């Protein structure tokens, strides 16, 4: 019983990771070429002879005059795209913007869902790193852009799934008040918190299994 629950837990972790990978967006560039968000990094890498795949920042809006969209775009343009090797895609459900990378209006509507604004960050391998319907600060975007590049040096599969959960725990459960400005020291503290949390979590599963077996 205990083994079965552990296997189910591991499968659910992998499932969490895979579900984010499968969120593929189609878009085009000003050449008229079509790309999938999960393959664009590799295609452009080959086309331009780059050393690394590109990250992707997708900005979705229903109104490009909205303050949220304009302020997010301004923040993104302050981040050197050449240095951090990313491209950004505009998804506007109201009008098409053919001056750069863009999606169709229908795709933009699907991306937005019930929200009016969304920013999505994919890493170099097309995996979802962050999705937010609130404007992200420059430091937060930089964190996700640099975090995603180091993430793939780690093990794939389970490790990737754990990373999603660890990040979720770090940011949303354990210490949601943490500000990026505090830096590396706090990142280490958050890791310790996450490790502690996971240990307690597995301990609870073990206890649960043992109690089931006794019954």
Partner 1 sequence: MPDLLFDRNKKTLSWPLKKISWGALSGPFGAGALPPGIYDIARREITEYTNKVDLPYRDKSGMGFFVPIYPKFTTSRGKLGGRLGIHPDGNIPGTLGCIGITDANARSFHNAIKQTAPSIKLTLQVK
Q: Is 181 in the site for partner 1 (CB under 8 A)?
A: no
- Counting contacts by CB under 8 A, is residue 73 touching partner 1? yes
Tell me the window of 11-19, 23-31, 149-157, 164-172 that interacts with partner 1 (CB under 8 A): 23-31
Residue number with CB closer to partner 1 (148 or 170): 148
Compute the distance between CA of residue 45 and CA of residue 83 in angstroms, rounded to an integer: 14
d(CA 139, CA 180): 7
CB 186 within 8 A of CB 41: no
Residue 209 interacting with partner 1 (CB under 8 A) = no
Least Cβ distance, residue 189 to partner 1 (angstroms): 34
Region from 13-21, 50-58, 140-148, 204-212 binding partner 1, contact rule CB under 8 A: 50-58
Closer to partner 1 at the Cβ: 28 or 115?
28
Residues 6+ apart with CB under 8 A from 34: 26, 27, 28
Can you tell me the distance from the alpha carbon of 111 to that of 109, in angstroms, rounded to the nearest whole number?
5
In angstroms, give the least distance from the CB of 49 to partner 1: 5
Distance of alpha carbon 92 from alpha carbon 118, whole angstroms: 10
Shortest distance (Å) from residue 134 CB to partner 1: 21
DSSP code at position 103 = -
Closest to 96 in 3D by CA, of 110, 88, 106: 106
Considering only 17, 61, 85, 92, the residue that binds partner 1 (CB under 8 A) is: 85
Neighbours of 146 (CB within 10 A): 12
Contact 26, 34 (CB under 8 A): yes
91-120 residues near partner 1, rule: CB under 8 A: 97-101
In the bound complex, what is the minimum distance in angstroms from residue 92's beta carbon to partner 1? Answer: 12
H/E stretch holding 28: strand 26-28
How many residues lie near partner 1 (CB under 8 A)?
A: 27
Residue ranges in contact with partner 1 by CB under 8 A: 29-31, 44, 47-51, 54, 73-74, 77-78, 80-83, 85-88, 97-101
């Amino acid at each position: 019983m205990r083994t079965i629950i552990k296997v189910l837990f591991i499968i659910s972790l992998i499932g969490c990771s895979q579900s984010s990978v499968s969120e593929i967006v189609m878009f085009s560039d000003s050449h008229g070429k079509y790309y999938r968000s999960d393959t664009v990094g590799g295609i452009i890498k080959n086309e331009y002879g780059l050393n690394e795949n590109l990250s992707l920042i997708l900005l979705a809006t229903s109104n490009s005059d909205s303050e949220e969209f304009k302020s997010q775009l301004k923040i993104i343009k302050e981040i050197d795209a050449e240095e951090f090797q990313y491209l950004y895609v505009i998804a506007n459900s109201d009008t098409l913007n053919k001056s750069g990378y863009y999606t169709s209006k229908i795709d933009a509507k699907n991306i937005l869902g019930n929200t009016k604004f969304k920013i999505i960050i994919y890493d170099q391998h097309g995996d979802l790193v962050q999705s937010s319907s609130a404007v992200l600060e420059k430091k937060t975007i930089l964190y996700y852009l640099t975090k995603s590049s180091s993430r793939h040096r780690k093990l794939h599969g389970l490790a990737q799934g754990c990373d999603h959960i660890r990040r979720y725990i770090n940011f949303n459960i354990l210490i949601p008040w943490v500000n990026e400005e505090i830096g590396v020291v706090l990142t280490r503290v958050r890791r310790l918190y996450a490790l502690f949390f996971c240990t307690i979590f597995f301990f609870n599963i073990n206890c649960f299994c043992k109690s089931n077996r006794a019954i």
